[in-house]
Chains A and B, each alone.
Chain A
């Protein structure tokens, strides 16, 4: 029996110092309920929260979110896979429904990134790699992606300009998304002229740490038609892990967990890369989107730079990617990101994406990477 999405909600991403974490969660949850027809809150029999707990002052988020959204006494739990926690939660919901243990599950991806001070956040982020052999030298999150970028440029001749073009594209689409943190276009010169973060990456190569929440309500094929006329089915799922330490990875030009996860997803859905009509990929840094084109098979290995240069990832190109602005322009509230990606694909497949609509899209993909590639979840959606 198929499993799909019958309701979606998406809060405003950005500096949300106006709201607590549970108040943030309430916004997309209410929207998602209203997005269905006739679904009552008490019909939902489980709540799964996707989030990274160490960013919050509040401990054990599912407890406070279940109470504030009025989900007690239903089952509630947390899934964590770093920046891929949201997609991990969707995968968990899929398993719960597929097994028959739960019928209707609400998934809320949520993160407040701005509750901690900047030094606290930087210290946390510095420990995203192996703390025994790497963090002791002051590694950083952008630093790891900079290692990928330099190696990619060395092996494939990818240029600094090609990498920057990812930011130009994603800001162009962010300007069309009212939920995005940055709703302004940027020029190539502006990206290349921005401050250094970790050579060769600059400020405009990095996504912003923001607060935000998104929600999807999932159910099985039998019940879906009661709650929506436009269900979107999850027809392929893939999930894989890779070494915590870059020192033990086979190479620094691809994310091996992504390559493995997407293979599983294509196989389950019975499709090939060229069948994808719209994709949401994990562009935490510009180079990450270039590697994603290659790892997902949208272009040959090493040709990611050319793919963006030829505008193949724009609406109208071979495979439109991140036409909602991506992490780059929306901002990246880590636990919310995977769920946010799913809401965009649902909108696209329903034909409700407005100015960012990819005409006639029937098959979409999300690619959500955790940490510096330790986890990857890929989902393929069909209407």
Chain B
């Protein structure tokens, strides 16, 4: 499953961490860990920021985290008009690291910074080409 299938519109079809998409299709949220110093990364990184080592292994993330911030996008960029308005959340993951994605099925009034959330791997079913993503949901 090439990385080009990750995201509604993908801008980076090639990357050293392209196995991320394979795992995501199997329902696994994966980060990377430096083989040398053990530093963990989400979003994944091929090259260690700390020790500059370029060998890494994949480690599974639970998807559990807390909501760090959010916004509801009304003026959407090209390629996203059809789903606007949509709510984006930034999640601090339990194992460290952060991600940004759409908040799914949580009413606006219930969205609170600091609330526990769960990140769930998903596949778009409503568009013809296969697209992988993840959503932020009630934990």
- Which residues of B sit under 8 angstroms from A198, Cβ to Cβ? 71-75
A130 to B44, CA, bound (A): 13
Check B71 against A143 for contact (C-beta < 8 Å).
yes
Contact of B113 with A by CB under 8 A? yes
Check B90 against A247 for contact (C-beta < 8 Å).
yes
Binds B, one of A66-74, A134-142, A211-219, A272-280: A134-142
Taking a contact as CB atoms closer than 8 A, the residue among B15, B73, B97 that contacts A132 in the complex is: B15
Q: How many Å from the CB of A248 to the closest CB on chain B?
A: 8
Given contacts A119-B78, A140-B76, A143-B88, whether A247 and B113 have CB atoms under 8 Å apart is no
Given contacts A131-B11, A199-B72, whether A150 and B77 have CB atoms under 8 Å apart is no
Contact of A56 with B by CB under 8 A? no
Contact of A43 with B by CB under 8 A? no
Tell me which residues from 132 to 164 in chain A have a Cβ below 8 Å from any Cβ of chain B.
132-140, 142-143, 146-148, 150-151, 154
Contact of A353 with B by CB under 8 A? no
Tell me which residues from 5 to 49 in chain A have a Cβ below 8 Å from any Cβ of chain B.
none
A148 to B97, CA, bound (A): 18
The digit string for B94-110, where 1 denotes a CB below 8 A from any CB of A, is 00011111100000000
A196 to B133, CA, bound (A): 26
Number of residues of chain A lying within 8 A (CB) of chain B: 38
Given contacts A198-B75, A199-B72, A246-B90, whether A136 and B11 have CB atoms under 8 Å apart is yes
Q: How many Å from the CB of A154 to the closest CB on chain B?
A: 4
Tell me which residues from 178 to 207 in chain A have a Cβ below 8 Å from any Cβ of chain B.
195-201
Check B12 against A132 for contact (C-beta < 8 Å).
yes
A154 to B75, CA, bound (A): 24
A237 to B78, CA, bound (A): 38
Q: How many Å from the CB of A347 to the closest CB on chain B?
A: 34
B3 closest partner in A (C-beta): A132
Contact of A305 with B by CB under 8 A? no
- Which residues of A sit under 8 angstroms from B79, Cβ to Cβ? 123, 138
The digit string for A257-296, where 1 denotes a CB below 8 A from any CB of B, is 0000000000000000000000000000000000000000
Check B43 against A245 for contact (C-beta < 8 Å).
yes
A79 to B71, CA, bound (A): 33
Given contacts A146-B71, A147-B69, A252-B68, whether A137 and B100 have CB atoms under 8 Å apart is yes
The digit string for A211-245, where 1 denotes a CB below 8 A from any CB of B, is 00000000000000000000000000000000001
The digit string for B48-74, where 1 denotes a CB below 8 A from any CB of A, is 000000000000000000001111111
Q: How many Å from the CB of A249 to the closest CB on chain B?
A: 9
Check B71 against A150 for contact (C-beta < 8 Å).
yes
A123 to B69, CA, bound (A): 23
Check B70 against A147 for contact (C-beta < 8 Å).
yes
Contact of A122 with B by CB under 8 A? yes
Given contacts A123-B78, A134-B100, whether A140 and B11 have CB atoms under 8 Å apart is no
Contact of A127 with B by CB under 8 A? yes
Contact of A126 with B by CB under 8 A? yes
Contact of B38 with A by CB under 8 A? no
Of B68, B69, B72, B133, most buried by chain A (CB within 10 Å of CB) is B69
- Which residues of B sit under 8 angstroms from A310, Cβ to Cβ? none
Of A127, A140, A201, most buried by chain B (CB within 10 Å of CB) is A140
B9 closest partner in A (C-beta): A136
A138 to B79, CA, bound (A): 8
A372 to B67, CA, bound (A): 20
Contact of A125 with B by CB under 8 A? yes
B8 closest partner in A (C-beta): A136
Taking a contact as CB atoms closer than 8 A, the residue among B43, B74, B77 that contacts A126 in the complex is: B77
B86 closest partner in A (C-beta): A138
- Residue numbers of A with Cβ under 8 A of B are 119-120, 122-123, 125-127, 130-140, 142-143, 146-148, 150-151, 154, 195-201, 245-248, 252
- Residue numbers of B with Cβ under 8 A of A are 6-12, 15, 43, 68-80, 83-88, 90, 97-102, 113-114, 133
